[in-house]
Chains A and B, each alone.
Chain A
Amino acid sequence: MTTTVPGAPPAEELPIAADRDVVRVRQAMRTFAIAAELSLVEQTKAVTAASELARNTLVHGGGGTVTLEVVSDGRRRGVRATFTDWGAGIADVEQALVDGWSTGTGLGLGLSGSRRLVDAFDIDTVPGKGTTVSMTKWAR
């Protein structure tokens, strides 16, 4: 269970519709990760995971949005990013999480690699309707 954090920046929703939006998501994620008091390595992992997921949203989901927020479980702070698209969805989530599996021209590390960089990772997908991927990184 998580709650919002007093004094932290309010949740922010950003569009993901073009290359430059992926860069904006990285920059915004950095700001939120610093607000959540993540260490430099944790920030770098969170920003890298957000970059992978933002590109997935753009390339595989046909664009969408991300919502960034600082969260707390009562003991520690963290940063959460929720990516939503209205694309084709993922037919086989387990297969999509295998290293090297790709429907595009990428390396197939977007989902599997970003999952390794964060503490919590959830995929909610409906074929033909779209996909929501949520990631959380806690400050140690």
Chain B
Amino acid sequence: MERVPVLKLGDVLLVSIQFDLEDEVALALQADLADKIVASGARGVLVDISGLEIVDSFIGRVFADIAATASVLDAETVVVGMRPAVAITLVDLGLSLGSVRTALNVEKGLRILRRDLGLRAAEDLDAISSGASAPDATG
């Protein structure tokens, strides 16, 4: 079975889903994330679904369960990168993602985590993305 890689960036766990998920792979991701939140003490989870061509009721429920599990483990989840056609379809399907927070892209998702939790990784990454982290010779 394929597994979705989970990257640790400071206090944030970053998941980028790049292939169509079998149901079992989605459930394994949910379990992996719970383990890694506990093992790493991560305070934020960022799930990038820009690679997903569809979100059906099963995978949608897995996202809601991931966010609920993370919340119980004192971590906040943001799902980012949903394609417009996927968003339109979810509304017709009648699927509510419950309390799952969403943002348009990784950068905005990290900003939410930084604002709400003051996360170190989010601050570092935001600095990198704005080009402010390079050492400045002139001080």
Contact = CB atoms under 8 A, between A and B. Distances in A.
A95 interface: no
B7 interface: no
Range, interface on chain A? 20 to 34
Contact of A109 (B54, B57, B85): B57
Given A52-B57, A117-B92, A117-B93, A44 B85 contact: yes
Interface residues of B, number: 23
Interface stretch (A7-15, A23-31, A64-72, A76-84): A23-31
A114 B58 CA distance: 13
Given A23-B20, A44-B86, A44-B88, A113 B58 contact: no
Nearest to A51: B56
Q: Interface majority SS on A: helix, strand, loop or mixed? A: helix
A113 B93 contact: yes
B32 interface: no
Contacts of B53: 30, 44, 47
A109 B23 contact: no
A48 interface: yes
Given A109-B94, A113-B93, A113-B95, A48 B56 contact: yes
